[in-house]
Chains A and B, each alone.
Chain A
């Protein structure tokens, strides 16, 4: 009797794990994009990585059409892979690319940008991760596309930017 119960428990546990893995397998192939649309973006203040000045995120000088806010960290491996796409995006004239450096060491962050190139107009420091929480971020990397005129988030990407997403962003900028 005891043996039967053990068997049933272990068997159902395995079925449970199996199903979870199958779901996970299908899920992982497409990164989910949380549908935060037309949400007003709140302003925040933080220290800039290179200049050490405290600046506002919503800056009157940002006169271009779109702001892209990218949450990143030097310790995050996917951030490395998305970096080249960010560099490409930063060349778009309609776009201001702002980095939010999440829970990182300043020196590591700097050497990361030195090594791979710096696509950001400004890099704000979020050393405690509080700003990211308030933005509703899940983790790193994460990217917000913001319409500067309306100060609204048009689209949010969870996970690294790849070729498809980067094309999508470019068409968003055009429209």
Chain B
């Protein structure tokens, strides 16, 4: 019953999409506004039906209705209620329905919020957004219907993959989707503004809030994914340059560039075409991400389903949208008079452009590293995987000039500024940071050529962003985000350079000395929870002159599906994380124990939250001003 209701609401939504596109196009063409109220109601109705359809799926999961194949494949009666709920988007079909929900919800929000906007622009945005919605509706109904019926009804479900049963991962997809889908609205509205020839500071003011909102959600979404990888996968890192991680990073670079460019458009009414290109690129990258992840063209832990027909559909749809965007861009844009060539070299505009160049460079590195293996395979049949060394080698050298530019950029004024900012004071500070980091690197025994320069430039950046907080002319949100970013970079660097790990086989009673620390495997207990059994290890790590730390990592054996996972025990304090994870060795009393010491780990999370907070504050301030 629920499945039928859910499915037919989706079919209804298709009907609404077609109506909205038809009515809006007619209104735009005839330049009449009498249909606006009907369109408004239709958008609301469509949202209602999509919400209803989504609720059907949620209810099916909550009451464990195994007549629904999606529920059967991904849920189980003994699962805690929270994971039954998050199971809705823990699979391909459900997560697409969530995409659709957010798409329609955002369109509704846009329509409600932009009352003051020019009608033609508004309707054009609705048309483009509805095309995207229609595409997704068809995609769901044709290739990934979450409401397939199962008969006879099974008594028990297959269960959600236990590694997906984690709080961070439960909210990771929705947050990330808010970011991705937000970029769809930027895409639609930038195309609409191009057609309407209204790409100007007013438009920038209007679309800015969506840029900020998407950026915040994308930032937090990426972070949650990496929190999950750190705590759950137990590999002891937070970023692995896995294709799927890269795919979320690419729109982030693009969106970050857009975030800065849109301000130039708002304040100086310049860089119009570039803003449009970035808007199109951000959404195309988000969509390509979905394509690459869902089609199985890339091999990764995230691939839910390897169904080429799905891949083909997204691919065709994606290229339809991109080609549409490019044709619109070339037909309707005019050459700009006030272009970047007119910028004074030392000005905020140039600083933003330099920021954009760096973002584009980082983006291309990630893009090439991610897509190159696919191209290589198609042309030469060769299979390679591009790993961390590629990205590190190409990115790290460029971080140094990037940090230096970022130290000065935010302080520059619009239109024209002078070089007096680079004075003896700054040079002295730079020399101090350089020698400080030389000492740090020397006494910590790390032999890495770039370390001194990297740490010193990032310290320099931290110092300068800290000092910027005192400057009145700089916006408060910008101060927070830039400071947070500098802390993030410094923490990542220190974490990357100074992490230490040890790996060994131990049995109960063993003791091992590592880095002046004694690690003792004291005991092991068996316990039982609702849907899994667990082995709890008891480790004691003691250091001279400090009280001993007790670690209780777990090995969980889930009943449905039968999978064992290792839960790391992580002791976090302000300066470092200590991390113990252990795994079972088959048919023996020995366990494989991994101990890791990761400095400044918690600061990576704190600074990303702060970074996003800066963006949220900007939205709040913007709303207050209007």
Which residues in A have some Cβ–Cβ distance to B below 8 Å?
Answer: 3, 6-7, 10-11, 14, 18, 20-29, 32, 34, 75-78, 107-108, 110-111, 114-117, 138-139, 158-159
Contact = CB atoms under 8 A, between A and B. Distances in A.
B383 A138 contact: yes
Interface in B575-623: 583-586, 590, 592, 594
A11 B505 contact: no
Contacts of B585: 114-115
A23 B323 CA distance: 19
Nearest to A4: B330
A158 B383 contact: yes
Contacts of B586: 114, 116-117
A84 to B, nearest CB: 12
Give the 4 A-B residue pairs with the shortest CB-CB distance, closest first.
A114-B585, A7-B330, A111-B592, A24-B378
Contacts of A3: 330
B295 A25 contact: yes
Contacts, number: 84
B297 to A, nearest CB: 5
B312 interface: yes
Contacts of A11: 323, 326
Nearest to A112: B592
A138 to B, nearest CB: 5
A32 B296 CA distance: 15
A45 B377 CA distance: 31
A139 B383 contact: yes
A117 B594 CA distance: 18
Nearest to A78: B299
18 contacts: A7-B330, A14-B326, A18-B315, A18-B319, A20-B375, A23-B378, A24-B374, A25-B295, A25-B311, A34-B381, A110-B505, A111-B594, A114-B505, A114-B590, A117-B586, A138-B382, A138-B383, A158-B383
A22 B326 contact: no
B306 interface: yes
B326 A7 contact: yes
A64 B378 CA distance: 38
B163 to A, nearest CB: 12
Nearest to A76: B385
A92 B373 CA distance: 35
A35 B586 CA distance: 36
A20 B315 CA distance: 11
B306 A29 contact: yes
Given A3-B330, A10-B326, A21-B374, A111 B583 contact: yes
Contacts of B594: 111
Contact of A6 (B312, B330, B381, B385): B330
Interface string B301-332: 10000101001100100010011001000100
A25 B297 contact: yes
Contacts of A14: 319, 322-323, 326
Contact of B503 (A21, A107, A158): A107
A111 B384 CA distance: 24
Interface string B479-512: 0000000000000000000000001110000000
Given A14-B319, A20-B375, A28-B297, A111 B503 contact: yes
Given A7-B326, A20-B375, A20-B378, A159 B383 contact: yes
B382 A115 contact: no
Given A14-B323, A25-B315, A139 B384 contact: yes
Given A25-B312, A108-B503, 13 more contacts: A18-B319, A24-B374, A24-B375, A24-B378, A28-B296, A32-B381, A34-B381, A77-B300, A110-B505, A111-B503, A117-B586, A139-B383, A158-B383
Most buried by A among B297, B311, B383, B387: B383
Contacts of A77: 299-301
Nearest to A158: B383
A168 B311 CA distance: 28
A22 B503 contact: no
Contacts of A7: 326, 330
Contacts of A21: 291, 297, 315, 374
Contacts of A138: 381-384
Contacts of A24: 297, 374-375, 377-378
Interface in B359-405: 374-375, 377-379, 381-385, 387
A110 B378 CA distance: 34
Nearest to A8: B330
Contacts of A29: 296, 306, 308
Nearest to A159: B383
A11 B583 CA distance: 52
A22 B322 contact: no
Contact of A22 (B301, B312, B323, B590): B312
A11 B331 CA distance: 13
A14 B315 CA distance: 12
A23 B134 CA distance: 26
Most buried by A among B291, B300, B323, B378: B378
A29 B301 CA distance: 16
Contacts of A107: 503-504
Interface string B20-42: 00000000000000000000000
Contacts of B319: 14, 18
A8 B306 CA distance: 34
B367 to A, nearest CB: 11
A6 B297 CA distance: 30
A110 to B, nearest CB: 8
A75 B237 CA distance: 13
B233 to A, nearest CB: 11
